[in-house]
Amino acid sequence: MTTSLRTPICDMLGIEYPVVLAGMGGVSLSSLVAAVSNAGGLGIIGAATLDAEGLRAEIRRTRELTDKPFAVDLLAPIPDMIRPQMQVVFEQDVRIFVAGLAVPAAFIDEMHARRMKVVVMCGRVRHAQKSEAAGADVVVAQGTEAGGHTGEIGTLALVPQIVDAVKIPVLAAGGIADGRGLVAALALGAQGAVIGTRFIASPEAQAAGGYREAIVRAHEDDTVRTRCYTGKPARAIRNARTDEWEKKLDKLQPFPAQAALSAREGVMDYMGVTPHFDGERTFMPAGQSAGLVHAVKPAGEILRDIVREAEQIIDTRFVRPAEARSRMP
């Protein structure tokens, strides 16, 4: 028997499987986005590191590689910082927008006038309620296990509390890297999973070689939630720089000043666009699921493995009533 993993959000977003590539700034670019969308999930362009020109080029490249749906993610706490990129999102007729770090209140009316779907990343129940009240169509309940900027509440506790608190569909993020995690997310009431860390270990990800290898090598306790790179708490692979900053927390500056400092010190190129990657200093955003990542694999294969494993779990781990009756003495 084959189980269909389809949930209502698959129809809303126009995708085959409820698996979403996280909009990882600088990492989730056209190759990875198209690979995930072509395999039946939803690819999201992580546009946080792109200027307007760069975003336009990535959207065009993505459209050359896939005719399937995809989304664009931007960090939304300072509307003026993303206004030029938002104009590109509108001009290019992007259908799904994902907001990190804040509700994109300044743009929601225009997005709805254009019949776009608006997704907001949330780490607390009240963020999800605020997003729903502001007009979000979907919220992502992102647990502290997640790589990158993340809150303090664990996925297992957060997802059902957000599911209970809002009427709009909820996706789960943070710590999900395989079919077991996807089934768990669905069991918690989420309509699908947003996956970041697992997809960094793919050839399509825009990632420095040393960063990919660090994820494959990492164990469950090799990440730390630190403000030392951007000024906001972000989970990354622990290294000498994160350890040093633990001892001088009083020197930290708020977001985005700390991020500017890190850029000046040349420690933000986890994407591998310059030759300056240094595993002891460079930011390597990654979640606790890095301990589940044992090999670099093509993104489409990662997605298909997750779907296959999830279907197998649902088909084989539960005893259906007819079988249960036949086992009775």
Ligand X SMILES: Cc1cc2nc3c(=O)[nH]c(=O)nc-3n(C[C@H](O)[C@H](O)[C@H](O)COP(=O)(O)O)c2cc1C
Nearest distance in Å: CB 56, ligand X? 18
Q: How many residues does the chain have?
A: 329
Relative orientation angle of helices 179-187 and 299-316, to the nearest 10 degrees: 60
Judged by CB under 6 A, the number of residues near ligand X is 28
Residues 139/170, Cβ–Cβ less than 8 Å: yes
Q: Which stretch binds ligand X (CB under 6 A): 3-11, 18-26, 55-63, 259-267?
A: 18-26
Residue 148 interacts with ligand X (CB under 6 A): yes or no: yes
Relative orientation angle of helices 299-316 and 30-38, to the nearest 10 degrees: 40
Residue of this chain nearest to ligand X (CB atom) = 196
Residue 262 interacts with ligand X (CB under 6 A): yes or no: no
User: Judging by DSSP bridges, how do beta strands 96-100 and 117-122 pair with one another?
Assistant: parallel
Q: Which stretch binds ligand X (CB under 6 A): 16-24, 60-68, 129-137, 309-317?
A: 16-24
Q: Considering only residues 72, 88, 103, 286, which one is a binding residue for ligand X as defined by CB under 6 A?
A: 286
Residues 146/165, Cβ–Cβ less than 8 Å: no
Residue 311 interacts with ligand X (CB under 6 A): yes or no: no
Q: Which stretch binds ligand X (CB under 6 A): 195-203, 238-246, 292-300, 315-323?
A: 195-203
Residue 27 interacts with ligand X (CB under 6 A): yes or no: yes
Q: Considering only residues 5, 9, 15, 22, which one is a binding residue for ligand X as defined by CB under 6 A?
A: 22
Q: Show contacts with ligand X in window 219-258 (CB under 6 A).
A: none
Query: Which among 81, 64, 52 is positioned nearest to 72, based on CA atoms?
Result: 52
Nearest distance in Å: CB 194, ligand X? 6
Which residue matches tokens 């990875």?
32
Convert 223-233 to b/e letters by CB count within 10 Å (16 or more is b).
bbbbbbbbbbb
Q: Which stretch binds ligand X (CB under 6 A): 52-60, 124-132, 225-233, 286-294?
A: 286-294
Q: Which stretch binds ligand X (CB under 6 A): 21-29, 129-137, 258-266, 317-325?
A: 21-29
Q: Which is closer to ligand X, CB of 5 or CB of 71?
A: 71
24, 87, 97, 311, 322 from 91: Cα distances, Å = 22, 6, 13, 39, 55
185, 202, 300, 326 from 297: Cα distances, Å = 23, 5, 8, 42
Interface residues toward ligand X, by CB under 6 A: 22-25, 27, 46, 48, 73, 75, 100, 121, 142, 145-148, 173-176, 194-197, 285-287, 289
